[in-house]
């Protein structure tokens, strides 16, 4: 009997296996750091201090975490339906356009808490709209979702550059960006939350979108495990032929799953566009859509796991920036290598330890 089909307790599947993968990833990263002549334990200490050692560092870590939660949820929702949405990057980019248009239209007239729900809807609708065409092509024409969503990343990037350079740019300015949003179009910082723990946020752009991300985690959990649609999506993801045989409409389920996935990716734009820079800029997504794939894989496509995986990558992003400053031999490229190793062991080699753990668990169970 294959070990892949042997059921294991959730604490092994969702706790022990990811932990072992992470330990191995950091062990090999430590060997790389040692090979270039630096102390891996010192590097680890500097990385953690750079991410969690000060109030502003924690703020930046949670700022990155927020973006990764949105894109991780986006990938997870599609994955539950058996779809590999590689287009969260482009969907987040287009979602930024929706959020920015709402902010530009309302920031002069209403406070931020009135603008925010409309910006959420705008970002979600634009992100979902960008996911609709690949979803329709998959559902109706059999075009592979991986190929179409990758292509739409490039199309979305080109479209945004055109709009920012030729349409949305402030007249007389060279920078391809919109005007700065007025306070009515900006999401406030969560400095009060940091103050509860005796820390100062400082210049970190940690903002209200973090709370929105946590709310989305709860709603995604409800959707996937407590609704009829979620059951249909999970059934389709496990066995499309069985789902169709059971009467689950394939096309409708694929399109709805991708619309939800694209909407979650689009909402990621709230964090950098309205919470950090207060304007729409070129390349504001910064690769968060692709990091979301790793976050979803490492979090086992479960909202709770995604929160912890997003936090890990937030620590790597923020702590890595400080580490490369304190240890010049460890460049930003080295930090990318560490992130790549985490992705490798959490994703590509996800079940490397599973056969051994199955044998150990079965022996302990028989004992």
Cα–Cα distance between 367 and 361 in angstroms, integer? 10
Q: How far apart are CA 32 and CA 208, in angstroms?
A: 38
For residue 4, what pLDDT band results from cuts at 50, 70 and 90?
low
Q: Encode pLDDT of 96-108 as tens digits.
A: 999 999 999 999 9
What is the pLDDT confidence band of residue 332, given thresholds at 50, 70 and 90?
confident
Cα–Cα dist 328/351, whole Å? 35
3-class secondary structure, 203: coil
Specify the range with the lowest mean pLDDT, choosing from 18-22, 105-109, 208-212, 289-293: 18-22
Q: What is the pLDDT of residues 73-98, one digit of tens each?
A: 999 999 999 999 999 999 999 999 99
Higher-pLDDT residue of 4 and 142 is 142
Q: Is the pLDDT score of 137 beyond 70? A: yes
Confidence of residue 2 (pLDDT cuts 50, 70, 90): low
How much of the chain, in percent, has pLDDT values that exceed 90?
A: 71
Residue 244 scores a pLDDT above 80: yes
* Complete domains list, the chain, with CATH: 39-328 (1.10.3470)
Angle formed by the axes of helices 17-35 and 288-298, to 10°?
Answer: 130
Q: Give the C-alpha distances (Å, rounded to integers) separating 80 from 97, 205, 234, 250, 253.
A: 27, 32, 5, 14, 11
Alpha helices, DSSP H, located in the chain: 10-11, 17-35, 40-52, 55-80, 88-106, 112-136, 145-166, 191-196, 209-226, 228-238, 240-245, 250-267, 288-298, 303-326, 332-343, 354-366
Give this prediction's pTM: 0.94
How far is 99 from 279, CA to CA, in rounded Å?
10
Task: Calculate the dihedral angle through the C-alpha atoms of 102, 280, 311, 200, rounding to the nearest 10 degrees.
Answer: -90
Task: Give the per-residue pLDDT at 5.
Answer: 65
User: d(Cα 250, Cα 236) in Å, to the nearest integer?
Assistant: 8
Q: What is the 3-state secondary structure (H, E, C) of 95-155?
A: HHHHHHHHHHHHCCCCCHHHHHHHHHHHHHHHHHHHHHHHHHHHHHHCCCHHHHHHHHHHH
Q: Residue 72: name the closest of 229, 275, 299, 234 by CA.
A: 299
Give me the phi and psi of 350, to 5 degrees please. -55, -40
- State residue 153's pLDDT score: 96
Q: Is the pLDDT of residue 349 over 80?
A: no
Partners of 281 in the β-ladder: 177
Q: Give just the sign of the alpha carbon dihedral 237, 240, 243, 244.
A: positive
Does 121 have pLDDT greater than 70? yes
Taking Cα atoms as reference points, which of 257, 233, 258, 256 lies closest to residue 243? 233
pLDDT of residue 37: 87
Over residues 7-32, the mean pLDDT reads: 84
pLDDT at 64 > cutoff 60:
yes
Give the pLDDT score at 80: 97
Q: Which of 135, 87, 74, 118 is nearest to 263 (CA)?
A: 74
| Mean pLDDT across 58-78 | 97
pLDDT in tens, 167-225: 999 998 889 999 999 999 999 999 999 998 888 999 999 999 999 999 999 999 999 99
Q: Average model confidence (pLDDT) for the chain?
A: 92
């Amino acid at each position: 009997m294959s070990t892949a089909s042997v059921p294991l307790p959730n604490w092994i599947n969702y706790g022990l296996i990811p932990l072992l993968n992470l330990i191995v990833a950091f062990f090999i990263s430590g060997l790389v750091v040692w090979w270039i002549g630096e102390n891996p334990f010192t590097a680890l200490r500097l990385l953690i201090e750079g991410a969690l050692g000060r109030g502003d560092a924690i703020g930046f870590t949670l700022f990155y975490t927020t973006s990764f939660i949105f894109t991780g949820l986006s990938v997870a929702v599609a994955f539950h339906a058996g779809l590999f949405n590689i287009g969260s990057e482009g969907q987040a980019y287009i979602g930024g356009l929706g959020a920015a248009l709402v902010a530009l239209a309302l920031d002069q007239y209403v406070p931020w808490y009135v603008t925010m729900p409309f910006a959420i809807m705008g970002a979600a609708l634009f992100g979902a709209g960008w996911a609709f065409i690949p979803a329709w092509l998959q559902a109706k024409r059999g075009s592979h979702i991986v190929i179409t969503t990758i292509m739409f990343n490039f199309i979305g990037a080109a479209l945004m550059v055109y709009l920012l350079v030729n349409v949305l740019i402030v007249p007389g300015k060279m920078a391809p960006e919109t005007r700065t949003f007025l306070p009515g179009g900006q999401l406030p910082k969560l400095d009060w939350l940091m103050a509860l723990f005796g820390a100062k946020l400082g210049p970190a752009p940690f903002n209200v979108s973090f709370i929105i991300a946590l709310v989305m985690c709860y709603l995604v959990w409800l959707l996937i495990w407590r609704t009829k649609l979620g059951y249909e999506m999970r059934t389709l993801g496990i066995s499309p032929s069985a789902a169709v045989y059971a009467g689950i409409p394939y096309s409708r389920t694929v399109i709805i799953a991708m619309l939800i996935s694209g909407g979650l990716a689009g909402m990621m734009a709230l964090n950098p566009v309205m919470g950090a820079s207060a304007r729409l800029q070129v390349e504001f997504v910064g690769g968060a859509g692709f990091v979301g794939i790793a976050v979803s894989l490492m979090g086992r496509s479960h909202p709770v796991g995604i929160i912890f995986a997003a936090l890990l990558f937030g620590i790597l992003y923020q702590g890595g920036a400080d580490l490369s400053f304190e240890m010049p031999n460890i460049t930003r490229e080295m930090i990318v290598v560490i992130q790549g190793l985490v992705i490798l062991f959490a994703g590509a080699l996800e079940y490397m330890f599973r056969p051994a753990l199955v044998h150990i668990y079965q022996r302990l169970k028989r004992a």
